Amino acid sequence: MKRTKWALVVISLLIFSFLAYLVLENKTGEFDGFIYSIITFGKNDFFTGFYKFITMFASEVMVLFISLMFLLIFKNKRYGIFVIFNAFNILILNVLLKLIFMRDRPYDLMIITETGYSFPSGHAMAALGFYGFIIYLIWHFNLEKRAKIIFTILLGILIVLIGMSRIYLGVHYASDVLAGYMASVAYLIIYITYVKKYLRFSGDVE
């Protein structure tokens, strides 16, 4: 299990590095264009409104709101503290990565207004890193297995849709989104490995 975990970290970082190389060499055009054409096929007002709604779930305001809910709802404040700490880690990591690569956004494709750099996608990183950690916590809550599966599927769909929304709305290239996912996979595994020690210490998590 440990080997699989760290192998996944390495694979994710390798894919991220490969995408970063392609971005720096300006070689993602065909891939980005192909994915964009698929996701925006049949573009209409309904889908535009839908993706505008979906993308809000990875906004800084929404992530902060959900983090505070964890802090207020659960008697054990460790859950809320680690959720908030996770959110800030993702934000800081994304800002640092964007400052390194400084890729411009696809301004000619934008449906909504966004500023700042494009690579990697902050919303994609937040989607997988933030909601992925919540999925991890859910599997250690005292819930029926069926409920855990349902929550996992719903959050998994949300993670994918958030990434799609960034491409559909024209604020990110597909390579930005994929790189954001890969960065968060590596980060999340490392973060959970660290956090699990403290949660196990208290007996709150199996």
What tens digit of pLDDT does each residue of 23-53 get?
999 999 999 999 999 999 989 999 999 999 9
CA-closest candidate to residue 125, choices 161, 82, 178 = 178
Q: Does 106 sit behind a cis peptide bond, omega within 30 degrees of 0 on the bond before it?
A: no
E strand or H helix at 188: helix 174-202
Instruction: Supply the range of the domain harboring residue 66.
Output: 2-202
pTM as predicted:
0.91
What tens digit of pLDDT does each residue of 88-119 get?
999 999 999 999 999 999 998 989 988 899 99
The rounded distance, in Å, linking the Cα atoms of 151 and 136 is 11
DSSP 59: S
Tell me how many domains the chain contains. 1
